[in-house]
Structure 1
């Protein structure tokens, strides 16, 4: 299995990755093909695919932002069961993030992730064509890895640029120190404002959520 970086929508592996995303994520979670052109040129956005026999069998996107001292995993896709794809992506991603952390000279406080909550999804949304990508499976795996959810009702702007509030997810954080029980809201809110600056249409519910965060000093980290 190869770990290959994707840096252009002209890369044939990008088309295969985008098709895979369409099979495992709801439409509002998938940025349109052409709209990937500029993000893939951004050197701070890391997009890698797992390639086996010329086919994309997994993918992951992530970034490390020294100004916040946190990483963010945008998505991880396991396209087939029984091949160890999830473990392969995890090991490769963590090794790369350690290099990015060392290059920045800023110690990483942890990693953020948006994680589906099956309890908030109906059966149509919760079921998918790829077993390892079922939200209940992913949530338990991420819990094992040390992710905890921020104690807030979370929404995010839809990636289809229609400005809808997407529910059914938790904002989660994996602290570098597992004993950490709270996250400064200045970090969480600041990162969210930076992260979603790329989406001009933001729902009122998202603005209200971020404003509430900014009014607090910290937010608790709870089990998932």
Structure 2
């Protein structure tokens, strides 16, 4: 298996990755093909795929923001069972993030992730491509094992289809570098989320209300997944 960085929609493996995304994720979670052109040119966005026999069998997108001292896992896709894709992507991603952290000279406080809640109505009806490792219950337990905790807030995010819908059924989570951490300064997720969704001009009312509520807090608790 080979770990390959994608930096352009002209990369032949990008089309294969985008097709895999469409097979696994619901439509509102997938950015349109042409709209990937500019993000892939952004040096802070890392999009990498697992290649097996010239096919994209897995993918992950992530970033490290030294000014906030945090990383973010945007998505992880496992397209097949029995190849160890999840472990392969995690190990390669961690090695790359450690290198980015060293190059920045700024130690990481941890990593954010949006994680589906299998008990939410908005999630339960989704098939996730009928790929067993992508089932929300499986992914949630794996991410709990590696140290993620959920922020204590009712989370929504703007839809990536640019229609300004409020997407529910996820928890906003954090894997603290200090595994004993029980809370975060509320300012950290506020600054991160405002930056992260700055590319989407249409923000739903529910998102703005969530952000306003978060801004009023001093800290936000980290709860078990």
TM range (shorter): over 0.9
Structure 2: distance between partners of 1:104 and 1:86: 27
Number of positions where the alignment pairs a residue of Structure 1 with one of Structure 2: 224
Contact kept? 1:126, 1:135, Cα under 8 Å = no
| Cα deviation, residue 125, structure 1 | 1.1
Are the counterparts in 1 of residues 25 and 128 from structure 2 also a CA contact under 8 Å? no
5 and 126 in structure 1: CA distance in 2 versus 1, 3 angstrom threshold: same
CA distance in structure 2 between the aligned counterparts of 1:219 and 1:127, rounded to whole angstroms: 30
Task: Give yes or no for the alignment of 1:156 onto 2:157.
Answer: yes
Offset, 1:189: 0.4
CA distance in 2, matches of 1:209, 1:123: 23
SS at match of 1:208: helix
1:124-139 equivalences under 5 Å are 124-126=125-127, 128-139=129-140
In the alignment, what sits opposite 2:83?
Answer: 83
Moved more, 123-132 or 20-29: 123-132
Partner of 2:38: 38
Residue in structure 2 matched with residue 204 of structure 1 by the alignment: 205
Equivalent-residue separation in structure 2 for 1:123 and 1:100 (angstroms): 36
For 2:181, what is the secondary structure of its paired residue?
coil
The Cα of 1:126 is off from its aligned counterpart by 4.8
Q: Find the counterpart in structure 2 of residue 140 from structure 1.
A: 141
- The residue aligned with 2:118 is 118
1:118 and 1:126 in contact (8 A); partners too? no
Q: How high is the TM-score relative to the length of structure 2?
A: 0.98
Measured against aligned partners, the alpha-carbon deviations of 1:50-105 in whole angstroms (never above 9, x if no partner) come to 00010000000000001110000000000001100000000000000000000000
**5+ residue gaps in structure 2?**
none
1:60 equivalenced with 2:66 (yes/no)? no
Shift of 1:223: 0.4
Q: Tell me, which stretches of 5 or more residues in structure 1 are unaligned?
A: none
Structure 2 counterpart SS, 1:197:
coil
Q: Check conservation: 2:26, 2:128, Cα contact below 8 A.
A: no
Question: Given the two structures, how large is their TM-score scaled by the length of structure 1?
Answer: 0.98
Distance (Å, rounded) in 2 between the aligned partners of 1:171 and 1:106: 23
Q: Equivalent residue of 1:95, what SS? A: helix
1:145-182 deviation per Cα after TM superposition (whole angstroms, max 9, x unaligned):
10000000000000000000000000000000100000
The CA distance in 2 between the partners of 1:2 and 1:155, in whole Å, is: 35
Deviation of 1:128 after TM superposition, in Å, equals 3.4
Partner in structure 2 of residue 72 of structure 1? 72
